[in-house]
Amino acid sequence: MENIEFQEIKYEDFVELNQEIKQVDFIQSVEMASLLRIRELDLYYFIGRVDSEVKMLAMMTAAQVAGGKKFELKFAPTFYSGKFEAELFFDFMGYLKSFAKNHNGIILKVVPAVNQRKVYDDGSQKELETYGISHKMKGLGFVKTNPEIGYDEGEPTWHYLKDLSKLHSESELLKSFSKDGQYSFKKTKQFGVEVRKLTYEELSEFKKVTEATSIRRGYRDHDLAYYQSFYKIFGDRAQFLVAEINFQTYVDALNSQIEKLQRLIDSSDSVKKEKQRNEWQSQIRSQEKRLKEIQPFLARYADQSIILAASLFVESSNEIVYLFSGSYDEFKMFYAPYAIQYKIMTEAIEKDIPLYNFYGITGNFDGTDGVLMFKQNFKGYSVQKVGSFTYYPYPGKYRLIALAKKILRRN
């Protein structure tokens, strides 16, 4: 019979052991541990051994709440084997229950790194192996606490993914998009939208975009210090990208195209080419319409490069995660987010990173989730996580505190 044991370790040991694992969720990475330490969260690190050999690694956060500490274990533990090891996991849950109880815990929340369902864009579904997590966690005294639709305390229960492993070029990538996705990206090329990385000194511009978006959509944004810390700690693994446009350059390109088309018309008087001349004339009218639409922007911004949208991506050996983003609503006609998505996916392909994680969606497939509809333009698939499970070490105490909070809110 295998001998399984768990042990709390120091941060330095966590850093060293983390380097030995090929596939680590960024939430459980050394960089995230460093970021959380700066943000003044209490962190705990653990290893699991089987017959004296280290088989798993985990980081857990703790925050002071009314009545004690709230412990959270997200997308962990990380298994050295690269696959979910059920027996080790459930034994670890038992260990964490005792740990939380002995360390003034009032809440222990666990979010396993396990998918339970895959949903394709055509509506078809595939159930995945969940190792009986829901049933066994209930038996251990945990309560399933996440909503089936929406977000769980800001964390998505549903992710949208795209498999890049069979794509080997930019042309293959573009062809893999939906027709609307291809159209939108091609429009960014016509507009002259450019994508580039931000420097550390430019992060205030990133913050302006995300803040404007958070106000418009009604969610809480991180402060600038968070993004600055993220940039420094994650280094090359983090990419802060922006899509820009120079309206004067765009206008010059339109005028040049109009002049080229007009020369073609002027140099062609053959009756046989009348249809072609009509087509060229139609293109000129289209370009002139764009020129008219762009005049207010040109008058306001002149010959400046203006940021239209921004995104933050986190890279690992097996996936790139689309973590945060924002855009200015007044520039939505330029389809800037499509240029950013195309850019980061081409980089993933160049680096042989097989998976692109668009991250959160609500899990609502009735056509009301605009975020999902945007992501579906790139033709991936949705996955539902098994969700979150919460254990209350002192349930009576927790219920009394919850009741007191409810009474205070009423008053």
Per-residue pLDDT reduced to its tens digit, 118-152: 999 999 999 999 999 999 999 999 999 888 888 87
CATH (one of 3.40.50.1980, 1.10.760.10, 2.70.150.10, 3.40.630.30) for 162-247+304-385: 3.40.630.30
Q: What amino acid occupies position 219?
A: Y
Q: Which of 19-23, 97-101, 166-170 has the lowest mean pLDDT?
A: 19-23
**Cα gap 376→226, rounded to integer Å:** 30
Task: Tell me whether the omega of the peptide bond preceding residue 296 falls within 30 degrees of 0, making it cis.
Answer: no
Q: Which of 62-71, 107-116, 260-269, 336-345 has the lowest mean pLDDT?
A: 260-269
Which residues, other chains included, contact 304 with Cβ-Cβ below 8 Å and sequence gap of 6+? 246, 247
Which residues, other chains included, contact 298 with Cβ-Cβ below 8 Å and sequence gap of 6+? 247, 248, 251
Tokens of 229: 């810390």
- Please give the residue that has the higher pLDDT: either 272 or 193: 193
pLDDT at 69: 95
Domain ranges of the chain: 4-112+387-410, 162-247+304-385, 249-297
Cα 16–chain centre separation = 27
pLDDT band of residue 410 (cuts 50, 70, 90) is low
- Exposure pattern of 195-220 as b/e (b: 16+ CB <10 Å)? beebeeebbeebbebbebbeeeeeee
Q: For 265-291, what is the mean pLDDT?
A: 85
pLDDT band of residue 411 (cuts 50, 70, 90) is low
pLDDT at 147: 81
Share of the chain above pLDDT 90, in %: 74
- Please give the residue that has the higher pLDDT: either 5 or 150: 5
Q: What is the DSSP letter of 222?
A: P
The DSSP line for 109-157 is EEE-S-EEEEEETTS-EEE---TTHHHHHHHTT-EE-S-SSSEETTEES
pLDDT at 146: 84
On whether the CB atoms of residues 97 and 391 are closer than 8 A, the answer is: yes
In the numeric block, the tokens 């969720």 are attached to 25
Q: What amino acid occupies position 205?
A: E
Radius of gyration of the chain (CA): 26
pLDDT at 277: 85
- Please give the residue that has the higher pLDDT: either 42 or 155: 42
Q: Decide if 4-112+387-410 and 162-247+304-385 have a common fold.
A: yes
Residue among 25, 20, 115, 129 at smallest CA distance from 76: 25
pLDDT at 1: 45
Residue 216 confidence (pLDDT) above 70: yes
Residue 273 confidence (pLDDT) above 90: no
CATH (one of 3.30.565.10, 3.50.50.60, 3.40.630.30, 3.40.50.2000) for 4-112+387-410: 3.40.630.30
**Cα gap 342→336, rounded to integer Å:** 10
pLDDT band of residue 154 (cuts 50, 70, 90) is confident
Residue 23 confidence (pLDDT) above 90: no
